[in-house]
Amino acid sequence: MNKPLRRIAIFCGVLILALLVRTNYLQYVRADELNSRDENRRVRIERYAHERGNIIVDGNPVTGSVATEGSDFKYKRVWKNGPMWAPVTGYSSQAFDATQLESIEDGILTGNDDQLFFDRTLSMFTGEKKQGGNVVTTLNGDAQKAAFKGLGNKKGAVVALDPRTGAILALASTPSYDPSVFAGNSNKDSKARQELLNDKDKPMLNRALRETYPPGSTFKVVTAAAALENGLHSDIDAKTDSPLPWRLPLSTDNLANEGNIPCENASLREALRISCNTVFGKMSDDLGNEKMIEEANKFGFNKEIFTPVRAEASIYPKDNRPQNAMAGIGQASNRATPLQMAMVAAAVANDGKLMQPYMVAQRQAPNLDVIYTHEKEQFSQPLSAENAQKLQQMMETVVQNGTGRNAQIPNVTVGGKTGTAQHGLNNSEKPYAWFISYAKTKAGSPVAVAVVVEDGAAVSDDISGGGLAAPIARDVMKAVLARSR
């Protein structure tokens, strides 16, 4: 071969090699990136070319699929009672992608997950239509209905857990929205979503997981746990060294109680029963900021929680002495999600053992074969069994003859703690009403609940955890108990 032909042959060989390298680079190295690009419409068309698998509650789907008219996206998502279930499922939209379980479990629901590889391969040979798998949740439909109905037209949230396993039994947030109204890809869908985004009441905000509030006096349960665990107090009926009035450290101001209540040297049990700010504020100061942070962290503060849906991190702050005293009664920069405060109640109810919260019990293949089952997992041990049982006695006194009487259930042992958290600069806005609780039977504690309510229609003086939040918690607990019997 002469020299010019050899050069042409080498050049052509280099071109072919470059083409092979480029092709393999695109097909393998950048495959996932290219598949996920919004401009790649073929992937989205394939995603909506078949019916999506369902999200299951109590053995029944709360989602479905319907044919889409006038679009190359064949199917779109619909919900049964969308506003009630949106805080659990999130949304799946042809135009706006997906959130929460609809996003996290998208591989199973579309049938594209690696766990369904065998089913996809088999369908290629059998000619069966591709189907998505199902996601079976831990939710209790009756408890969810009680939570959603109890919140009504108020802003707020409810989280109910099974303290023994960490299973989420209810997760409600109001005001809510119907994900079906923007599940398609039309101008009507875009307009509906924009109206929701512009709504000043933020119906698309998941208040149960993504909003943090000052927990108010419900946080006194954590402060009491810190005092017991660190040996500051051991006898819940012994007098505490708690003067009245009690001046905030490094301050000229006294810490006030709500009304003229007998908090001087009150015992732990009595101080929780009537909710003494002075006792728990001084307790937090005596323990110090580091020990308070350490105990709060054991309950889950200062870290994001994944259920698998992400929950915002609750915050117990690193702060100075007066602010630490205020944080110890659930004020100052102390912030908590309803999920977090449900975890506090659950840990106490479960003799000090806190289980990892979760809401996916199983994943199913399209033929309903179970391909994943959740195994319960311990999150932490915030307090010993002995100290947890002392706190149970204290919380049960709150419900028996304290501020939590509205949570009483006949023939059931209920423990709880009310809270009314200040809101706005110098408490200028209407406070938040809190209640955390658990119900106990001979078989253990099947449910722990946290409720937060913001009632814009109520007079500020009428807003209280016992008045607004406790009845909602009671009804949720009753719903769970009715099924467990």
| CATH for 348 | 3.40.710.10
pLDDT band at 473 (very low <50, low <70, confident <90, very high): very high
Output the pLDDT for position 127: 53
CA distance 245 to 257: 9
pLDDT band at 39 (very low <50, low <70, confident <90, very high): low
Output the pLDDT for position 50: 85
Q: Is residue 238 predicted with pLDDT exceeding 90?
A: yes
Q: How many domains does the chain divide into?
A: 1
Q: Is residue 141 predicted with pLDDT exceeding 60?
A: yes
The mean per-residue pLDDT over the stretch 150-173 comes to: 97
55, part of any domain: no
414, part of any domain: yes
Tell which residue, 48, 163, 153, 160, has the closest CA to residue 455.
153
Q: For the chain, give the mean pLDDT.
A: 90
The mean per-residue pLDDT over the stretch 420-437 comes to: 74
Domain that holds residue 320: 216-357+380-484
Q: Picking from 41-50, 118-127, 412-421, 460-469, which range would have the lowest pLDDT averaged per residue?
A: 118-127
57, part of any domain: no
Q: Is residue 61 predicted with pLDDT exceeding 60?
A: yes
116, part of any domain: no
Residue with tokens 């199983």: 362
153, part of any domain: no
Tell which residue, 218, 214, 161, 216, has the closest CA to residue 391.
218
Catalytic residue list: 217
238, part of any domain: yes
In the chain, the amino acid numbered 31 is A
Long-range contacts of 382-385 (CB under 8 A, 24+ apart): 382/225, 382/229, 382/295, 382/298, 382/299, 382/347, 382/352, 382/354, 383/225, 383/228, 383/229, 383/298, 383/347, 383/348, 383/352, 384/229, 384/352, 385/351, 385/352, 385/353
254, part of any domain: yes
Rounded to the nearest 5°, which phi and psi values hold at 104? Answer: -65, -40
19, part of any domain: no
| C-alpha distance from residue 221 to each of 299, 374, 395 (Å) | 11, 30, 8
3-state SS class at 267: coil
Rounded to the nearest 5°, which phi and psi values hold at 67? Answer: -70, 145
Q: Is residue 27 predicted with pLDDT exceeding 90?
A: no
The answer to whether 51 touches 128, Cβ cutoff 8 Å, is no
